[in-house]
Amino acid sequence: MPSRTPRLLRDSDALRAAMAARAAEEQSAREVFIAAADWAIAHVAGSGDVAGYVIDTGMMLPVAGPGAPEVQEHAVTEFTTAIGMTQQAGSFYVGHALEACVRLPRVWSRLVKGELAVWQVRRITEDTIPLSAEAADLVDARIAAYAHQVSRNQISNICRVAQEHTDPEEAILRQAREAEHRRFDVWLGQTGFDGTVDVSAILDQPDAADLERAIAALAEQLKKAGSEETLDVRRAKAAGMLARGEHALPLDTSAAETTTRTRSRHLTLYVHLSVDAVTGALGDVARSEATRSPLGIDVIKAWCQAAGTSVTVRPILDLGPSGTATPTRCRT
């Protein structure tokens, strides 16, 4: 197979050509996405029309969220055929365009201005479509300015906070359902030929952090004792040591004392006072410093009230982007 002879371009010319082509590609994608929204709005389903839908988890759902108009099914099919998509993929595509245009006007405005790519908008609409109109508007207000840099996990967290703020009753039910998801499974019935067993768990974050610290400490002790095994193997052995009550190796008394002292739980609470806290814009929501994910206030209370837990509270005044925050400390 003959190799391609590259064009004789200077490095800077090649980079500029690639950047220009990429910008043109993104702009073309925007124009198709905007056309999809225009087409959907121009073909709103009437009382006698069959509305377009998407199939998700076996259910037929509207292409966009509550408050967005329904679109004629044949119109969705016609558009998806024109752009060469399958019916299912095209229905999602048209729905995301309609969702952004109608229910996320701030995000949509940034797309039209060329400040956001289509993929950045679509990863937001994937999470906002199930939300109520009020929750979607809150997400739009909170996320629009940062939509170009938020991660997938941050989008999910923002949508979750908005849903809890606008529908507290559903939030209580969801928290109850999630509490039932905590588990610790040891798959003894699926022991491998090499004698290993899979273990999986869903724990409260403080419990998971305590477990991580204990395993990490024991794995480090094994290394200091002369183990040449990999970190993964030492961590696996450390889990077995914990199960047998071996909280430290006999030859390392200083490590044993340290491990014994750290068996109690310690939490540090950074209490921020911001405009959102004063106005109640986000309701009773805390945030994990480790994962940057939102947490319910009741969850934090339960962690603090657990037996053997000591808590350090650090109040911080958030003065805004241009201000400075000076923490004060108190211990409980």
pLDDT in 10s for each residue of the chain, 332 residues? 556 666 655 667 888 888 999 999 999 999 999 999 999 999 999 888 888 888 775 678 889 999 999 999 999 999 999 999 998 999 999 999 999 999 999 999 999 999 999 999 999 999 999 899 999 999 999 999 999 999 988 898 899 888 888 877 766 666 666 667 788 898 888 877 777 889 998 888 888 888 999 999 999 999 999 999 999 999 999 998 888 887 666 544 444 444 444 455 566 766 665 555 545 544 555 665 555 555 566 666 666 766 566 777 776 655 554 444 444 333 33
- Amino acid 294: pLDDT: 58
Please tell me whether residues 318 and 210 are part of one structural domain.
no
Q: Which domain holds residue 238?
A: 191-261
Strand partners, 314: 270
In angstroms, the CA 66 to CA 51 distance is: 14
Do residues 97 and 66 lie in contact, with contact meaning Cβ atoms separated by under 8 Å?
Answer: no
Tokens of residue 211, six digits: 């477990």
Please tell me whether residues 291 and 315 are part of one structural domain.
yes
Please tell me whether residues 81 and 145 are part of one structural domain.
yes
Please tell me whether residues 156 and 200 are part of one structural domain.
no
In angstroms, the CA 63 to CA 95 distance is: 4
| Residue 113, domain member (yes or no) | yes
| Residue 210, domain member (yes or no) | yes
Please tell me whether residues 166 and 274 are part of one structural domain.
no
Alpha-carbon radius of gyration of the chain: 27
Please tell me whether residues 209 and 134 are part of one structural domain.
no
How many Cα atoms occupy the beta-carbon half-sphere of 114 within 13 Å? 7
Q: Which residue from 158, 119, 157, 109 is spatially nearest to 29, judged by alpha carbons?
A: 119
Amino acid at residue number 175: Q
Number of structural domains (the chain) is: 3
Other Cβ atoms within 10 Å of 164 Cβ, number: 21
Please tell me whether residues 72 and 19 are part of one structural domain.
yes
| Residue 184, domain member (yes or no) | no
Last residue of a domain, one of 241, 261, 281: 261
| Residue 326, domain member (yes or no) | yes
In angstroms, the CA 145 to CA 150 distance is: 10
| Residue 63, domain member (yes or no) | yes
| Residue 5, domain member (yes or no) | no
- Amino acid 328: pLDDT: 36
In angstroms, the CA 62 to CA 76 distance is: 12
Last residue of a domain, one of 217, 246, 261: 261
Please tell me whether residues 100 and 168 are part of one structural domain.
yes
What b/e sequence results for 17-35 when a residue is b if at least 16 CB atoms lie within 10 Å of its CB, and e otherwise?
A: eeeeeeeeebeeebeebbe
Please tell me whether residues 203 and 121 are part of one structural domain.
no
Please tell me whether residues 246 and 118 are part of one structural domain.
no
- Amino acid 92: pLDDT: 93
| Residue 211, domain member (yes or no) | yes
Last residue of a domain, one of 177, 199, 234: 177
| Residue 186, domain member (yes or no) | no
Please tell me whether residues 242 and 326 are part of one structural domain.
no
In angstroms, the CA 269 to CA 207 distance is: 16
Please tell me whether residues 243 and 270 are part of one structural domain.
no
